[in-house]
Amino acid sequence: MRLPTTETVPDGHAIDACAPLDAVAMMLDAQQAALATVRAVSAEIAQGAVLMESAVRAGRHIHYAAAGSSGLMALADACELSGTFGLPAKAIHIHMAGGVPVDGIMPGDTEDDIAAGEQVAQQMTPGDVLIVLTASGKTPYALDIAHRAKATGATVIGFANNPGTPLLDMADLPVCLATPPEVIAGSTRLGAGTAQKVALNVMSSLMGIGLGHVFQGQMVNLVADNTKLVGRAEGIVAQIAGVPLQVAKDALARTKGATKPAILVASGSAPEEALQLLAIHQGHLAPCFQSLKSNQNQIV
């Protein structure tokens, strides 16, 4: 029986037979090779971002489902979306086999728990997007959730590191990150995990851009819930609106800390008008500025 690529022992010198610096070089080379596989699926990643954006705009939910190392990659991406792009926390769900580990222990047998899929599927509704990750492409927990999600009318984006696997065959949007054999055979926290993390980073960031939550390369919809981020929000408003820092602070106070409308307020809009403009232009600042400028010219 032919082993999947992620389980195959790599050709060449065994990493445990290498000198430490040579082992480091081998691992870094393997990471770069894994990273290169993400570029090969750029079109699929862009399509996935559109699916995520459409779901968010329609008030639907984004779900992530995975086990083991893939679950950690999913968790890392899911947990960043609310703070970075201001997405409602209730719109993002993470389903990890055995639950999110809080004690450093991640039992392996939970990836075979297909009974958990029924409970997870009950949280999904038509129009939701489910992002499923499994390096092998055949993890029972992930596959069962994917099948049940499709039955509810959710759209399944499936990431796997082995081609021709069950998840890729059944996903609405299959994404094969064809990473080479791991330098430690089967240790998918290495190359496969890197490719998954980067692919998710790019896809969810592109979603944020599509939603209008990035403007001039800055996070204009961030949630400023600590001292560092309050300062960042003030700087973003000041820079984009071209106003002194105190004006930016005043604008944020008038919008109750909401960065995107504060940018418009600092540019001469009333808070209510700022919200109306953002609603009309689906959250994108560039056309809001055009409308604001046009309104100001008419007044003059």
Q: What is the pLDDT of residues 69-107, one digit of tens each?
A: 999 999 999 999 999 999 998 999 999 998 888 888 887
77 in the same domain as 28: yes
Q: Is there a single domain that holds both residue 182 and residue 48? A: yes
Residues 161 and 279 occupy one common structural domain: no
Rounded to two decimals, the pTM is: 0.91
Q: Is 53 a catalytic residue?
A: no
247 in the same domain as 185: no
The CATH number of residue 55's host domain is 3.40.50.10490
272 in catalytic set: no
Q: Minimal CA–CA distance to 241: which of 298, 285, 276? A: 285
Bridge-based pairing state of the strands 214-215 and 218-219: antiparallel
- How would you write the pLDDT of the chain (300 residues) with one tens digit per residue? 567 788 777 777 799 999 999 999 999 999 999 999 999 999 999 999 999 999 999 999 999 999 999 999 999 999 999 999 999 989 999 999 988 888 888 877 788 888 888 888 888 999 999 999 999 999 999 999 999 999 999 999 999 999 999 999 999 999 999 999 999 998 899 999 999 999 999 999 999 999 999 999 999 999 888 999 999 999 999 999 999 999 999 999 999 999 999 999 999 999 999 999 999 999 999 999 998 877 666 654
Distance (Å, whole) CA 90 – CA 275: 22
Catalytic residue from among 111, 182, 272, 273: 111
- The pLDDT value recorded for residue 297 is 62
Same-domain check for residues 238 and 189: no
H runs (alpha helix) in the chain: 20-39, 42-57, 68-85, 116-121, 140-152, 166-170, 191-210, 227-241, 245-254, 259-266, 271-280, 285-299
Single out the residue in 210, 245, 272 at which a domain terminates.
210
Rounded Cα–Cα distance for residues 192 and 165 (Å): 15
Q: What is the pLDDT of residue 298?
A: 62
CATH classification of the domain holding 280: 1.10.8.1080
Who's near 64: CB < 8 A, 6+ residues apart? Answer: 74, 75, 77, 78, 92, 93, 94, 95, 130, 131, 132, 133
- Same domain? For 113 and 156 the reply is yes
Whether residue 88 sits in one domain with residue 183 = yes
In a shared domain, residues 199 and 80: yes
The pLDDT score that the predictor gives to residue 256 is 94
CA dist list (Å): 299 to 59, 272, 289, 295, 296:
36, 18, 15, 6, 5
Of 7, 44, 53, 80, the active-site residue reads: 80
The Cα 122–Cα 124 span in angstroms is: 6
Same structural domain for residues 169 and 45? yes
Say if residues 86 and 149 touch (Cβ distance below 8 Å): no
Q: 1: which residues sit within 8 A by CB, 6+ positions away?
A: none
* Alpha-carbon gap, residue 156 to 87, rounded angstroms: 20
Show the domain range for 220: 214-299
Whether the Cβ atoms of residue 97 and residue 68 lie closer than 8 Å to each other: yes
- Looking at the structure, tell me whether residues 182 and 117 fall in a common domain: yes
Query: So what's the pLDDT on residue 300?
Result: 45
Assess contact for 8 and 181: CB atoms under 8 A. yes
Same domain membership, residue 290 and residue 245: yes
Among the candidates 191, 210, 229, a domain finishes at: 210
CA 226 to chain centre: 22
- What domain count does the chain have? 2
Helix (H, G, I), strand (E, B) or coil at 251: helix
3-state secondary structure 157-194: EEEECCCCCHHHHHCCEEEECCCCCCCCCCCCCCHHHH
Pair (148, 238) in one structural domain: no
Task: Tell me, rounded to whole angstroms, the distance of Cα 300 from its chain centroid.
Answer: 44
Domain boundary among 175, 210, 245: 210
Asked if residue 184 lies in contact with residue 24, where contact means CB atoms within 8 angstroms, the answer is no
